[in-house]
Amino acid sequence: MRLIYFFFFMLITVGSFAQAKPRESLDPTVSEIWDLKPVKVTPAKNVGDAPSDAIIIFDGKNLNEWTSLDGTPARWEVKEGIFTVAKGTGDIKTKKTFGDIQLHIEWRAPTEIVGEGQGRGNSGIFLQERYELQVLDSYESVTYSNGQAGSIYKQSIPLVNATRKPGEWQTYDVIYTAPRFSENGRVVSQAKITVIHNGVLIQNDTQIWGPTEYKGLPVYQSHGKASLKLQDHGNPVSFRNIWIREL
């Protein structure tokens, strides 16, 4: 209803321009919106800490919010406020499912450098279990650009390489818009993602072409809300301070 008022207001405004009414004579209060109030949220003192309305996905204590893909308890190692991929135990995913979200997640590639390219500090953050934001040690390790840290894997190259040294904590702040599907399962609008890596914009409202594929082109398949999934790629990548705001 308010949208209708807004369009009505715009019509009147455009109409008044058409009549060449001088701007100075217009009433400025007509374009003020007072009755729609954004909900008040208390931001954390330290940016990166969860604000008041966030869902805490990892609080440093346990993996109670997570499961293995087969529904059994997640078996990654929790120690001293962080958790680390336990090689061979498989990917883990959140018990809760999500659509559009704001996500904060911190990750660390292992200090001990092992392997090259895709084999060095590889993990991944799969939005809705399908769309991978790559986690990789891309500090001084070369791989294909659309597979480096901050890429939408095999799709979108990050705008810059903002990767810190292995062993240092890194942040991803993500704004994710889920794809929309028609009733017959066709994609109406593709997923979109904005990513800030260590405070630097690396994906700017990037269109996601479909589910992440190692080989071949992605093809969308209709889905609803889904988990956040983290990848066991065999490297001991660590995570901490993970929270989500549903949008």
Query: Under the rule (CB under 5 A), what is the footprint of Mg ion?
Result: 122, 124, 231
Nearer to Mg ion by C-beta: 206 or 231? 231
Structure tokens, 110:
């292992």
Nearer to Mg ion by C-beta: 186 or 215? 215
CA distance 199 to 214: 29
Closest approach, Cβ 62 to Mg ion, in A, equals 24
- Pick from 43, 88, 94, 36: nearest CA to 239: 94
Nearer to Mg ion by C-beta: 122 or 206? 122
Closest approach, Cβ 3 to Mg ion, in A, equals 41
Closest approach, Cβ 139 to Mg ion, in A, equals 16
CA distance 134 to 106: 13
Structure tokens, 137:
């040690």
Closest approach, Cβ 105 to Mg ion, in A, equals 14
- Number of residue whose CB is nearest Mg ion: 124
Nearer to Mg ion by C-beta: 54 or 172? 172
Q: Which residues of 51-69 are buried (b: 16+ CB within 10 A; e: fewer)?
A: eeebeebbeeeebebbbbe
Nearer to Mg ion by C-beta: 141 or 231? 231
Closest approach, Cβ 79 to Mg ion, in A, equals 22
Sign of CA dihedral 85, 89, 91, 92: negative
